[in-house]
Amino acid sequence: MSQAVRRGPGRRPGTADTRAEILAAARAEFAANGFDGTTIRGVARVADVDPALIHHYFSTKHKLFIEAVGFPIDPTEVLPGLIAGAPPDAVERLLRYMFSVWEDPQGRERVLAMVKSAVTTEQVAGMLRDYVLAQVIVPMLVEAGLVKGDRAEAERRVGFALSQVLGMVVGRYVIRIESLAEADPEELIAEVAPTLRRYLSE
């Protein structure tokens, strides 16, 4: 609290640097306290900025997280629309959407940057693990009726599906295994969709 007193007129104004510092502070806070244990107020304290500035830049804690972890898209904006009503080709739709992000140069750059930091820094791995999986991906797939079982079983099933998705990203874009790197996305989707379907719901 003494820190809170110290702030006030001393707080730095918003600049491009400030934005980057907010993101660094957010990464540290999310990694240390998890998503639920992190507050915008707490991030503001670490970054030594006014909480209103964080709201101004990122609007919500969720958006702040998405930016801090380097997610190329906000999955909650796009995915529910793709899988609403659990159409029979929901898995293909999800994969097609993921490939559209990965095939876009900017999207790919962000995904690869995220994978590299997840592989090299435990902080990012932990953020992905705790939040993306437990708080976003699993509930979204459960709600859409795409994954079978109670919460524990759903997490187990989604874990397997994610292992295949992760392996596709690493195999095609990072190690660039020839047969994966040179294939048309539709060919890959046709092979991988049955795997994901089995993991999620069979």
Given its phi and psi angles, is residue 197 left (phi above 0), alpha (psi -120 to 50 degrees) or beta?
A: alpha
Q: Which residues contact 10 (CB under 8 A, 6 or more apart)?
A: 48
Shortest separation between residue 152's beta carbon and a copy of itself, angstroms: 8
69 binds a copy of itself (CB under 8 A): no
195 binds a copy of itself (CB under 8 A): yes
Shortest separation between residue 21's beta carbon and a copy of itself, angstroms: 25
**d(C-alpha 138, C-alpha 158), whole Å:** 7
6 binds a copy of itself (CB under 8 A): no
Q: Read out DSSP for 53-95?
A: HHHHHHSSHHHHHHHHHT-SS-HHHHHHHHHTT--TTHHHHHH
Closer by beta carbon to a copy of itself, 87 or else 159: 159
Residue 26 DSSP SS3? helix
Q: Which of 46, 86, 101, 125 binds a copy of itself (CB under 8 A)?
A: 125
Closer by beta carbon to a copy of itself, 41 or else 129: 129
Residue with tokens 């503001």: 44
Quote the crossing angle between the two packed helices 105-120 and 90-103, to the nearest 10°. Answer: 90
Q: Where are the extended beta strands (E) located within the chain? A: none
* Contact pattern for a copy of itself over residues 76 through 115, marking x by CB under 8 A: ---------------------------------------x
Of 135-194, binders to a copy of itself (CB under 8 A) are 155-156, 158-160, 162-168, 170-172, 174-180, 183, 191-192, 194
Residues in contact with a copy of itself by CB under 8 A are: 115-116, 118-120, 125, 128-129, 133-134, 155-156, 158-160, 162-168, 170-172, 174-180, 183, 191-192, 194-195, 198-199
